[in-house]
């Protein structure tokens, strides 16, 4: 079974999803953190976030993973960096 939760940035989706997964015995995959990591990479590369071709090209080169509640971008822990106001405003 796959359960998805949708809503705006900062609404608490991940918090609720973690609790729900724990209660139901499901695995939790934070795709929002993965999306934020891609956004962070685009911001760091100074890309125009509205240039979908450039963003897609960049994302194809990235290694994004979530391990033990941490967001990894190309092997570096970016868990704090993806929760900044700049990233939140850009997702």
pLDDT at 54: 97
Please tell me the distance from the alpha carbon of residue 20 to that of residue 15, in angstroms, as a whole number: 9
Q: Is residue 2 pLDDT above 90, yes or no?
A: no
What is the rounded average pLDDT of the residues 28-35? 88
Q: Collapsing DSSP states into helix, strand and coil, what is residue 14?
A: helix
pLDDT at 89: 92
**Helix and strand tally (H, E) in the chain?**
4, 3
Please tell me the distance from the alpha carbon of residue 69 to that of residue 77, in angstroms, as a whole number: 10
Question: Which tokens hold the place of 65?
Answer: 């993973």
Asked if the structure places residue 39 within a domain, the reply is yes
Asked if the structure places residue 2 within a domain, the reply is no
pLDDT in tens, 53-67: 999 999 999 999 988
pTM: 0.81
**Cα three-residue angle 47-31-8, rounded to 5 degrees:** 75
pLDDT in tens, 68-81: 889 999 999 999 99
pLDDT at 68: 83
Q: How many domains does the chain have?
A: 1
Range of the domain at 81: 30-90
Asked if the structure places residue 49 within a domain, the reply is yes
| H helix or E strand, kind and range, residue 23 | helix 13-24
Asked if the structure places residue 42 within a domain, the reply is yes
User: Strand 76-77 and strand 64-67: pairing?
Assistant: unpaired
Asked if the structure places residue 24 within a domain, the reply is no
pLDDT at 20: 93
């Amino acid at each position: 079974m796959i359960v998805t939760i949708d809503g705006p940035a900062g609404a608490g989706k991940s918090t609720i999803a973690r609790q729900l997964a724990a209660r139901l015995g499901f695995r939790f995959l934070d795709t929002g953190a993965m999306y934020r990591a891609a956004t962070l990479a685009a911001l760091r590369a100074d890309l125009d976030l509205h240039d979908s071709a450039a963003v897609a090209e960049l994302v194809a080169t990235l290694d994004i993973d979530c391990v033990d509640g941490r967001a990894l971008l190309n092997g570096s822990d970016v868990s704090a960096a993806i929760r900044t106001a700049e990233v939140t405003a850009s997702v």
